[in-house]
Amino acid sequence: MLVVQNIIANKEAYIKALTKRNFDAAAVLEEIIGLDESRRATQTKLDNTLADSNKFSKEIGLLFKNGEQQKANLLKEKTAQLKESSKQLSTALTDIQEKLTQLLYTIPNVPHDSVPNGQSDEDNEEVFREGDIPVLEEGALPHWELAKKYDIIDFELGVKITGAGFPVYKGKGARLQRALISYFLDKNTDAGYKEFQVPHLVNEASGYGTGQLPDKEGQMYHVTGDDLYLIPTAEVPVTNMFRDELLQESDLPICCTGYTPCFRREAGSYGAHVRGLNRLHQFDKVEIVRIETPENSYKALDGMVDHIKEILNDLQLPYRILRLCGGDIGFTSALTYDFEVFSTAQDRWLEISSVSNFESYQANRLKLRYKDANGKNQLAHTLNGSSLALPRVLAGILENYQTPNGIKIPEVLIPYCGFEYID
């Protein structure tokens, strides 16, 4: 959520920057500035009314003490009127603040200067590529066929139990999943990230805190009986651990990692490009989250990118990194890098990670602040990244490592799996 004072100070710059997102912010920013003026004027009236009421209350006590009951009763009438006025002003102030907050929720984050212009994912900018695309034997199979051939993932059984998009991992497929989770967590903790196990459901305040709510696209699963939401990513519960916190600058950076299943409705996702593991309603993911000072957040973002590069280099998967354009970047992000692994059998790139700096956008929603060296309260910067999302990593391993004798396990995973081949 943008800070109102910053909107007032940088209105024209924000309007221009938000055009990168194809978002016309002029009218809504003007309305926000008007509401803020009304809020401040109403607050001043309320403060003055309460001050007069307190002043008269003290005078009433003195008048009664001095036996001046008539004057005291007149002031009591004025005090009653002031109390009624303060009640009305307080209600009006709450209404204005609610309207202001709801309007702020409709405005996406201001993109970083380096975000390229563009309308869709076709306009994203490739900034890095690593690894040779393997040449597969004739008749190489996509991962959903390999899963069936080696009986390691059962998509039909998942449909029977729940529905499409909820696969069942079996035997060596399940062990490979567990190996990837353990490997990712070990890499993250070795890099200084503290591991957390967090709830898989969150309350409404947590959804608003990290920007998943209001859920305009209907992608979150809502447990209506308890008004809770199944998490779309560990980012939500992990970041919300710091909601309403005032940290010390010496506490930063805070580096967290956690494994969770993730749940996404993925409404409107159909077609061959979402077959198999390409897009699921439930999937496993290991996340990294950082809380940083504004001065260090972009250096931290670069460090997160390098960390995920190292993981993919260990797995020896061909990958590329994209800087997302204004038309494709997430609502809450200021700058996002997507990692994509090449699926040789499908002859296409598959997104496996997004690494984002939200600057103070989430922190303002979360009321996540820190006290700087001068004793002043500042909004922190929040960052997060997938390290990694498992389904498409697994798809890439199955497809790129397939041989006539079976699927070879990446060397770095063999100690975690306990086997070298799926055959």
Compute the Cα dihedral for 205, 208, 214, 220 and give only its sign.
Answer: negative
Q: Give per-residue pLDDT as tens, 46-99.
A: 999 989 887 877 777 776 677 767 777 777 788 888 889 999 999 999 999 999
Q: Extract the annotated binding site for ATP.
A: 264-266, 351-354
Nearest CA among 260, 320, 319, 323 for reference residue 289: 260
Q: How confident is the model at residue 268 (pLDDT cuts 50, 70, 90)?
A: low
Residue 44 pLDDT greater than 60, yes or no: yes
Q: Give per-residue pLDDT as tens, 299-328.
A: 999 999 999 999 999 999 999 999 999 999
Query: What's the pTM value of the predicted model, to 2 decimals?
Result: 0.92
For the chain, helix, strand, coil in percent to 5 are: 45, 20, 35
Q: Which fold has domain 4-105?
A: Helix Hairpins (1.10.287)
Neighbouring residues of 109: CB distance < 8 A, sequence distance ≥ 6: 2, 331, 332, 333, 334, 358, 359, 361
Q: What is the C-alpha to C-alpha distance for residues 191 and 143, in angstroms, rounded to an integer? A: 31
Residue 142 pLDDT greater than 60, yes or no: yes
Q: Extract the annotated binding site for L-serine.
A: 233, 264, 287, 384
**DSSP-derived secondary structure letter, 326:** T
Q: Are strands 369-371 and 246-248 parallel, antiparallel or unpaired?
A: parallel
Q: Give per-residue pLDDT as tens, 366-402.
A: 999 999 999 999 999 999 999 999 999 999 999 999 9
Amino acid in the structure at residue 217: E
Residue 297 pLDDT greater than 80, yes or no: yes
CB atoms within 10 A of CB 22: 12
Q: Extract the annotated binding site.
A: 233, 264-266, 287, 351-354, 384
Average pLDDT, stretch 178-190? 98
- The arrangement of secondary structure in 121-422, i.e. its CATH architecture, is 2-Layer Sandwich (3.30)
Give the domain ranges of the chain. 4-105, 121-422
What tokens appear for 39 in the block? Answer: 């809020």
pLDDT at 267: 63
Residue recorded with tokens 């063999």: 414
DSSP for 344-399?
TTTTEEEEEEEEEE-TTHHHHHHT-EEE-TTS-EEE-EEEEEEEEEHHHHHHHHHH
Residues paired with 260 in a beta bridge: 285
